[in-house]
Structure 1
Amino acid sequence: MSLQTPTLEKVLPQTDSFSGYFTDDPLKISEIYRKNINISIWQRELDSKLIQAGEYILQENPELQLSEVVDPGNINEIMIKEFGSSKELLTFSNDISKIVNMFCNLFELKKVWLRLDAIDQPMCPRFHADNVKCRLVTTYIGPATQWLSHHKVNRAKLGHGNEGKTDAESGLFSKNSDIQQLCPGHIALLKGESWDGNQGAGIVHRSPHEEGHYKRLYMTIDFVELYLRIYQNTLKGF
């Protein structure tokens, strides 16, 4: 998470009040707090060691589904337990630890819900907005998350509004070039419908659609309240 990289900030020009924010400075990802920003993207590039570690994990555990409530104090222990302590995999574990710390610091959280998954098909194939405050997403290997700018979405076509048609056919968006896509390594904060004052403006996104078969290793970090909402009867000693 070097802070020495020259920065380049850009706010997507849009025709209404909600925009996307791009930056090369990890500190600037906090622009998600701005009322008119519903996606904030740190455009980082993965170094070769992280890519190699990610490829190794995909090869050794192609069905990986890691789901843990973690805090900055135990994340390294959990990662080492899951992936081992080889030098290469420690690089990967340390990267996740830094991202967890960043998310916790940004939102003043003690714990977060971390998920790291290996998949070979879209997990969420339809465009949608999440009923969460904010979610961090990043992809290590494979194609990354796709999203639509707020002013290019017909929200009436989300969910049942698609009337059984595909996203491309329903009128949700006008043309394929409206679809934007993160790159592997990018760290994005996706503002959801539960963010105070953001109802009807949660960022619309989906898992990547790619021709043919692909392998993907990606991570999401959520507020613990989402975990509690889903698994409140199984979480003990929290």
Structure 2
Amino acid sequence: MTLQQQATDSRLPDHAAADADISVLPRIFDEAINIAVFERALPADIALSAKAQCQTERAWQFGWLGEINEAFTEDLRRHLPAPEAGEALIEDIATVASAVAFLFETDTVGVRLRLLNSAMCPRFHCDNLAVRLVTTYVGPGSEWLPEHAVNRLGLGAPRADRPEVAADPHAVQCLECGDIALIKGSGWIGCEERGLVHRSPALAGGEKRLLLTIDPA
């Protein structure tokens, strides 16, 4: 069941918030919430711009730490595999990054855009940071576990004696391509033991994923 289907069925976990309106994102500040999802269908021009950046055999990534300004957009344009088709994607990334900076009252954000041809973090884990925005422009979205389906004794480096993190594998939730999610990690004050447990999705042979993550700094 997708996150959108679950929200429609009114069975979204108490620690999650999701809506088709961007106003849901500030709910990440609610003490009980550790994932807030703006359910967004990608506009056609952004989807086409993103797909154009995936027409390459090599995996690539772009990183930026600083303000979201003209220097940022120029640097991103220089690093795109198909900059001539990149304007819609660049504009969207700049808009999303600026929104993160505004929401968390900071001038500095860490932006990373990656083209992946394999799962980046295939094991369920919890980020050791306060909060991160994740969105997928091409390919499957991130997967996460409701709290009732998590065995936190399984978190950490894999060992023979560690139990599986997913106490109920059937409870795995999937973000949709285009969704914008804010997820709390163990670095969020008051959420040290309740950071969202999530993982990268498996990719089929030849499948690619264009992933954006943004961290307020």
Normalised-by-shorter TM-score class: 0.7 to 0.9
| Alignment pair present for 1:69 and 2:65 | yes
Task: Give how far 1:10 is off.
Answer: 9.3
Name the Cα RMSD after superposition.
2.3
Partner of 1:218: 211
Deviation digits for residues 153-193 of structure 1 (CA, Å, limit 9, x no counterpart): 01011124x53379xxx342233321111111000001010
| Alignment pair present for 1:44 and 2:40 | yes
Paired amino acid for 2:148? H
Secondary structure of the 1:49 match is: helix
Secondary structure of the 2:40 match is: coil
Partner of 1:204: 197
8 Å Cα contact 2:101-2:216 kept in structure 1: no
| Alignment pair present for 1:119 and 2:116 | yes
Secondary structure of the 1:201 match is: coil
8 Å Cα contact 2:19-2:38 kept in structure 1: yes
Task: Give how far 1:69 is off.
Answer: 1.0
| Alignment pair present for 1:35 and 2:31 | yes
8 Å Cα contact 1:9-1:21 kept in structure 2: no
Deviation digits for residues 200-219 of structure 1 (CA, Å, limit 9, x no counterpart): 10000011024444211111
Paired amino acid for 2:108? K
Task: Give how far 1:55 is off.
Answer: 1.3
8 Å Cα contact 1:9-1:24 kept in structure 2: no
Length, aligned pairs only: 209
Partner of 2:4: none
Secondary structure of the 2:102 match is: helix
Partner of 1:93: 90
Secondary structure of the 1:139 match is: strand
Runs of 4+ aligned residues of structure 1 deviating over 6 Å after TM superposition are 8-11
Residues 1:135 and 1:179: Cα distance change in structure 2 (over 3 Å): same
Secondary structure of the 2:140 match is: coil
Query: Take 1:107 and 1:175, find their aligned partners in 2: how far apart are those partners?
Result: 34
Query: 1 or 2 for the larger relative contact order (CA 8 Å, sep ≥6)?
Result: 2
> Which sections of structure 2, spanning at least 5 residues, go unmatched?
1-6
| Alignment pair present for 1:102 and 2:95 | no
Task: Give how far 1:128 is off.
Answer: 0.4
Deviation digits for residues 62-94 of structure 1 (CA, Å, limit 9, x no counterpart): 4221111131223322233333764x4111100
| Alignment pair present for 1:195 and 2:188 | yes
Paired amino acid for 1:140? Y
Secondary structure of the 1:54 match is: helix
> Which sections of structure 1, spanning at least 5 residues, go unmatched?
1-7, 225-238
8 Å Cα contact 2:150-2:168 kept in structure 1: no
TM-score normalised by L of structure 1: 0.80
Residues 1:175 and 1:55: Cα distance change in structure 2 (over 3 Å): same
